[in-house]
């Protein structure tokens, strides 16, 4: 229920706290997602042969449309936007597909395929009310659970010093000291501090970790010095091309990624607002994401998606004020025009980010479990979750197992979230619907049949004994 403008509560979606109180809470969200938004453009630029200017443009437009997409979700326009405390931005889940397309067709091929992908997202958003029953808690919860589990190795790699295990100094004692100190500060503030300090636990951990990393000489300001002050994105600056193979791959990943969005939006309402996700919110979230993905492709922005780490922050702090997240979105938009700001955010060392986010990823996992137990844990549902987890995390652990598959299929099954979503969805459609009561009755029937067989067998044996005695 919408409250008055005088409401300053950070625990109310319509609450508007003072800017001084909102800023630290906003920066928590920025710092949690900034590397996730910047990394995909860097990776895509590397595999597609982009030059320095094109790389910078990809990063800046990614930040710009991350802010625009988030604002649209917080402040819906018509039917576009969920009206929920969520952060959207360039999604990491698309990276395997983007790499495969970019290595063959370059950035123009990615952007052309993305137009079709955005349209596919919009179609899903339009019809989601009619098909939502196909994504019950057992499916959405499984997806959220796998999202959390699949992020653990990223946090651990960050704490060890880099997203690349072959990087110099990876796993050093200094990296772990900074990462664990950051984690300890976040944990102490979130569990032992009171009032506002408790809500700002993540930013406190990042500040302490950043200072320690600076003293250890781990902060690199070279990118900050090289970045220009102003950059104005223009449409079609990176070109657009259309290729059938790229379009098919992008449409599939965009449709499947919509299931992750369903999971994240469900986790937001369950973990942060203690209620179920409404049809209007779900449809608006998918439509808004589709439109931003479509329009963003014209300017060079990669596909957008919900950020699971920020869902974890909402679930952990219960801060759901859209003003708080809106401030974060505004800063992202400013960063899209001011490369200096984006470069400053990227000076945060990996161990600091890892120490600050690992507990957040754990919260995502727990939110997935909360969703799962909304359905009864019947043998049928347990089978769906167990097999989805086994296949998704198993393939993630042994990526070589899918090395001989066709490129398009390899692109899809390389993501544990996609594997979990497809398996959970398929099993939910195929397996007969049985409740715990149905299963109990089935066991009773089996027991009765077995007892009946035993009685028949005993009667036959008795008759045989009598006949033998008569003879």
Spatial neighbors of 402 by CB under 8 A, at least 6 apart, are 395, 409, 410, 413, 414
> What are the start-end ranges of the H helices in 274-349?
279-299, 308-317, 322-337, 339-345
Tell me what pLDDT residue 96 has.
65
- Is the pLDDT reported for residue 213 higher than 80? yes
Average pLDDT, integer, range 39-50: 74
- Residue 320's SS3 state is coil
Please state which of the ranges 79-83, 96-100, 173-177, 227-231 shows the lowest mean pLDDT: 96-100
Helix 308-317 with 137-160: angle, nearest 10 deg: 100
Rounded-to-integer distance, Cα 351 and Cα 177, Å: 9
Average pLDDT, integer, range 296-304: 92
Average pLDDT, integer, range 74-88: 92
In angstroms and rounded to an integer, the radius of gyration of the C-alpha atoms of the chain is 25
Average pLDDT, integer, range 37-51: 75
Average pLDDT, integer, range 131-141: 82
Tell me what pLDDT residue 183 has.
92
193 closest CA partner among 185, 313, 28? 185
Q: Where along the chain do its domains lie?
A: 19-375, 435-471
Structure tokens at 341: 């700001």
- Is the pLDDT reported for residue 453 higher than 80? no
Enter the pTM of the model: 0.70
Report percent pLDDT > 70 for the chain: 90
Rounded-to-integer distance, Cα 259 and Cα 257, Å: 5
- pLDDT band with cut points at 50, 70 and 90 for residue 1: very low
Average pLDDT, integer, range 18-26: 87
> What are the start-end ranges of the H helices in 13-165?
19-48, 52-74, 95-131, 137-160
Tell me what pLDDT residue 5 has.
52
Spatial neighbors of 127 by CB under 8 A, at least 6 apart, are none
- Is the pLDDT reported for residue 257 higher than 50? yes
Average pLDDT, integer, range 127-140: 84
E strand or H helix at 90, and its extent?
strand 88-90
C-beta separation of 335 from 90 below 8 A: no
Structure tokens at 385: 């979750």
CB neighbours of residue 101 within 10 Å? 30
């Amino acid at each position: 229920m919408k409250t008055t403008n005088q409401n300053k509560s950070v625990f109310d979606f319509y609450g508007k706290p003072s800017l001084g109180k909102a800023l630290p809470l906003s920066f928590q969200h920025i710092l949690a997602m900034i590397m996730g938004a910047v990394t995909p453009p860097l990776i895509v630029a590397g595999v597609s042969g982009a030059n320095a200017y094109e790389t910078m443009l990809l990063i800046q437009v990614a930040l710009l449309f991350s802010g625009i997409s988030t604002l649209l979700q917080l402040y819906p326009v018509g039917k576009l936007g969920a009206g929920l405390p969520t952060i959207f931005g360039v999604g990491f889940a698309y990276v395997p597909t983007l790499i495969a397309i970019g290595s063959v067709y370059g950035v123009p091929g990615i952007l052309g395929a993305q137009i079709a992908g955005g349209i596919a997202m919009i179609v899903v958003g339009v019809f989601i009310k009619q098909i939502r029953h196909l994504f019950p808690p057992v499916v959405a919860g499984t997806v959220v659970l796998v999202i959390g589990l699949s992020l653990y190795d990223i946090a651990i790699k960050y704490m060890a010093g880099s997203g690349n295990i072959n990087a110099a100094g990876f796993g050093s004692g200094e990296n772990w000291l900074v990462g664990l100190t950051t984690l300890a500060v976040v944990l102490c503030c979130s569990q032992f501090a009171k009032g506002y300090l408790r809500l700002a636990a993540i930013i406190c951990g990042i500040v302490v970790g950043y200072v320690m990393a600076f003293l250890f000489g781990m902060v690199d300001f070279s990118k900050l010095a090289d970045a220009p002050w102003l950059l104005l994105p223009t449409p079609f600056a990176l070109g657009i091309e259309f290729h059938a193979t790229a379009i098919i791959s992008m449409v599939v990943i965009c449709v499947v990624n919509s299931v992750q969005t369903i999971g994240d939006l469900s986790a937001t309402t369950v973990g942060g607002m203690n209620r179920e996700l409404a049809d209007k919110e779900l449809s608006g979230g998918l439509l808004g994401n589709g439109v931003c993905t479509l329009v963003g492709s014209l300017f060079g922005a990669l596909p957008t998606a919900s950020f699971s780490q920020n869902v974890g922050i909402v679930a952990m702090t219960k801060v759901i004020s859209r003003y708080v997240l809106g401030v974060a979105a505004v800063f992202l938009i400013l960063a899209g025009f001011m490369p200096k700001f984006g470069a400053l955010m990227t000076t945060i060392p990996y161990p600091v980010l890892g120490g600050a986010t690992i507990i957040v990823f754990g919260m995502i996992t727990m939110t997935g479990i909360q969703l799962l137990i909304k359905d009864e844990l019947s043998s049928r549902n347990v089978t769906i979750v167990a097999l989805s987890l086994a296949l998704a995390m198993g393939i993630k652990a042994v990526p070589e197992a899918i090395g001989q598959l066709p490129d398009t299929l390899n692109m899809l099954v390389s993501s544990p979230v996609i594997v979990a979503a497809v398996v959970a969805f398929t099993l939910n459609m195929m397996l007969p619907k049985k409740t715990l009561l149905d299963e109990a009755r089935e066991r009773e029937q089996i027991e009765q049949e077995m007892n009946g067989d035993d009685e028949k067998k005993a009667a036959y044996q008795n008759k045989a004994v009598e006949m033998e005695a008569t003879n």
